[in-house]
Amino acid sequence: MNERIKENPPTKKSTSFLASMPNEKKRKRPPCDAQWCLDNINDLSVKSFATAFSMADRVYAHARYKNILAKYAPNEHKKRLLEEHAIWKRSMDEQVFWKDMKRKAALRTTEATCSEVVNTMFTSDAQNLLDSIEASAHQASPTATAETTPGPALAETPEAASSTTPLSSTKQEDARGNEGRDNSRQWALGGTKMANLFKQYRHEIKSQAANKSSFHAECDLQEILALSNILFLAPGQHSDLKMQVFGCQVVDSLCRTAVAQFMDNQNVDFSMEEAGHLAAIVDKVQTGEMSAVDTQVELLLAAKNMVPTKAAVTRGVANLVVKLPLREIVDMDSLGETEMQATYIDPVLAPLFSNPAQNVVLRWANKNEEITDIRPDAVISTVIQSKYGRPLGFGEVKPGNSSTDKHSLCMDTMRLAVLSKDMIGHYGQDTCFAFQVDGFRVSFFMIMQPRQDLYLMVEVATTRFPSSLDTLDVLTTRKNLCTLARVSSCFWKNSGESSIAPLTPARKLPISTLYQMIDKSHHKTVGTTSRY
């Protein structure tokens, strides 16, 4: 009987007893990061440790590394590693390394936040190619579509190609109301699929970003905006990479077509007689034949007999007559943003973009918008009863003196682009208006969303405002009068609420993420060949 008892296996009770034995007899496995350090103990450094585990938090990485050394590192290596860590922590290489790690973390966030990734792009392009081959095989004879008809007509769908509006996605009600169809729509210009080119453009940017320590706002603005799904277009101001991907002819044609959509209202142009009459009135005050007040009255009387858009431009000229100094202020550094706004800019822009009768006002609020943490200098707002409603546009102002450089101007452009994009997504609007002031040069933009994962920011016009009463005649040329009239018409024509279902907004990329990708230093010799 005793022999049988000895041969029996241990009971459950004896098994649990073994499990409760002291820890000295059971060895605990170190955490994975500590084990990695032990496996690489001979070549270990905080730099290799942070790189291996993609750490962007400098404080946490240093603390975790020292904790692992104190707890797990063998004594023969511990002292050496701690000394090397202390020396490297005080070096210049340490600062450069953590800056690069933050940049890589920002790129990873961008990749996760933006709607298109490389694998999706390849899959989509392959599927589009198969679809086009299959469609071609079933065609008995060629037919005219948006992708086969030559010319600059720009459309998202073949149905939209027959519309009179070049960028007419906002007019296709059934296409906008179906999100599933939206993903398959093609945005084409003369047979070139712009959406696919934009994906390729963003892919090239991400490939270049992997080899860069940071972006420079002075020369990389358009690529930074593309990472936020914004295609920036300005006549003659295309980046080298954009022209390389799209082709110079295609991107120029796209820009001209986009500008023409918003600025083709020739009905508001001043006639030669009207422009000549205004120029004659201004000449009288410049030569001293008429006082400033009398000149203002004459201009207002002339505006009384004009259509509203022309009248708004004329009232702007009348406002400048009593606002501008007689002579140009030579010391530009004495001019601040507030004086630039009040004396030179608001007198012209307020009549163009404000109409209390329609509950729309131009405000120089300099307050954070509720949809974002960006604080624009100016907001064009609707008024609902006794409070401000949805914004219709935004503005940024720089005085154009020694405190203004290209870095600060490009950062303003980026803020306008991101703010306008967020506003379109938040309020479900078709477009957003923006203007940017650099001294006496004023640029106007329209931002629109032709498809879910793509926004266009187009510079529709740029002009110079007078700096004194002596130079007021630069504004009364027929070209400048017509430009301001068309810009005002463009704003009012596109400021109404959308009557159709809005597109689903692209994923929001916080502007703080873009800030992390941009070098904070200013480079006067970088990006001198273009304004953006």
Task: Judge whether 5 lies within some domain.
Answer: no
Last residue of one domain, picked from the residues 90, 105, 136 = 90
pLDDT score at 211: 79
pLDDT score at 371: 63
CA distance 268 to 285: 26
pLDDT tens for each residue of 117-130: 444 544 454 455 44
CA distance 467 to 343: 9
Pairing mode, strands 431-438 and 387-398: parallel
The pTM of the full predicted model, rounded to 2 decimals, is: 0.67
pLDDT tens for each residue of 338-377: 999 999 999 999 999 999 999 999 999 877 666 677 889 9
CA distance 75 to 77: 5
- Mean pLDDT, to the nearest integer, of 250-266? 91
461: β partners: 444
Q: Of 188, 128, 191, give the one whose Cα is nearest residue 156.
A: 188
Task: Judge whether 128 lies within some domain.
Answer: no
Task: Judge whether 425 lies within some domain.
Answer: yes
CA distance 364 to 353: 13
* pLDDT band of 112, cuts 50, 70, 90: low
Query: Residue 60: how many CB atoms within 10 A of its CB?
Result: 11
Q: Coil, strand or helix: which one is 184? A: helix
Domain assignment of residue 36, given as a range: 28-90
Task: Judge whether 96 lies within some domain.
Answer: no
Evaluate if residue 423 carries a pLDDT over 80: yes
pLDDT score at 501: 59
Lowest mean pLDDT of 13-22, 231-240, 426-435, 471-480, name the range: 13-22
- Mark whether 81 and 183 lie in a shared domain: no
- Mark whether 268 and 333 lie in a shared domain: yes
- Mark whether 327 and 228 lie in a shared domain: yes
C-beta of residue 156 within 8 angstroms of C-beta of residue 184: no
How many distinct structural domains can be found in the chain? 2
- Mark whether 264 and 382 lie in a shared domain: yes
Lowest mean pLDDT of 79-88, 182-191, 198-207, 488-497, name the range: 182-191
CA distance 404 to 394: 19
Task: Judge whether 100 lies within some domain.
Answer: no
Task: Judge whether 504 lies within some domain.
Answer: yes
Task: Judge whether 213 lies within some domain.
Answer: yes
- Mark whether 54 and 200 lie in a shared domain: no
- Mark whether 342 and 490 lie in a shared domain: yes
pLDDT tens for each residue of 279-317: 999 999 999 999 999 999 999 999 999 999 999 999 999
pLDDT tens for each residue of 29-71: 888 888 888 888 888 998 888 888 888 888 888 888 888 888 8
C-beta of residue 56 within 8 angstroms of C-beta of residue 101: yes
211: β partners: none
- Mark whether 41 and 182 lie in a shared domain: no
- Mark whether 320 and 234 lie in a shared domain: yes
- Mark whether 199 and 338 lie in a shared domain: yes
- Mark whether 159 and 37 lie in a shared domain: no
pLDDT score at 316: 98
- Mark whether 69 and 153 lie in a shared domain: no
Q: What are the backbone angles phi and psi of residue 450, rounded to the nearest 5°? A: -75, -25
Task: Judge whether 109 lies within some domain.
Answer: no
DSSP assignment, residue 221? H
* pLDDT band of 516, cuts 50, 70, 90: confident
- Mark whether 430 and 362 lie in a shared domain: yes
* pLDDT band of 209, cuts 50, 70, 90: confident
- Mean pLDDT, to the nearest integer, of 497-505? 63
